[in-house]
Amino acid sequence: MVGLSLAIALAVGVPLGVLLVVTAPGHILPRQTLNAILGSIVNTGRSIPFVILLFLLMPVTKILVGVSIGTRGAIFPLAVAAVPFVARVVENSLQEVDPGVIEAAESMGASPVQIITKVLLPESWPALLLGFTLTAINLVGYSAMAGAIGGGGLGDIAIRYGYQRFRNDVLLETVVILIILVQITQSLGNHLALKASKGQRRLD
């Protein structure tokens, strides 16, 4: 559930984040109106609490996947909730790229697409990996929240077999599993980001 939601969020959020950067005033494809519209959409998406978003999207989720609850029903709202976060992660990471590197690429005749694919994304790759790791961790928490209201997964187990049956041991075990998942995800993300950073230094 988390993996598929993350994949969808990355597929939509990464291009959106790139557009937020390159259409900003003074960048390689300045489009002030488009940038303002995209920024407003992302800000609106980030301002809606996940539980409320889950209920708001139930009719749409049912149309798209045939159900509005359960594991299948939770994937779409999880992805929608993560898209604005991914977009901002990408935006912040790409904004850290040295403007001098971009100017050098432009002076050598690189096209906007080449600057994006050969300069912006590779230069910001370690920061992007850390941001995607944080997104995955947030989705783990969101999935537990979705499970609490019928979304399946660990949250569903915690509520149905722990809370409703007064099984504190089940609740505790669920919390421990969530902690382990977060620790593994963060450690893996840190390792990949460090490896990418070392690779950049070797290339430099």
CATH number for 126:
1.10.3720.10
Domain count along the chain: 1
pLDDT grade for 148, boundaries at 50, 70 and 90: low
Domain residue limits at 129 = 2-203
Q: What pLDDT shows up at residue 165? A: 81
**DSSP track, 157-196:** HIIIIIITTT-HHHHHHHHHHHHHHHHHHHHHHHHHHHHH
Q: What is the DSSP letter of 24?
A: S
What residue spans of 23-150 are helical by DSSP H?
A: 32-47, 50-56, 58-65, 70-95, 99-107, 112-115, 121-123, 125-148
| Mean of pLDDT over the chain | 89
pTM of the model: 0.88
Q: What is the pLDDT of residues 181-194, one digit of tens each?
A: 999 999 999 999 99
Q: What is the pLDDT of residues 159-171, one digit of tens each?
A: 778 877 888 888 8
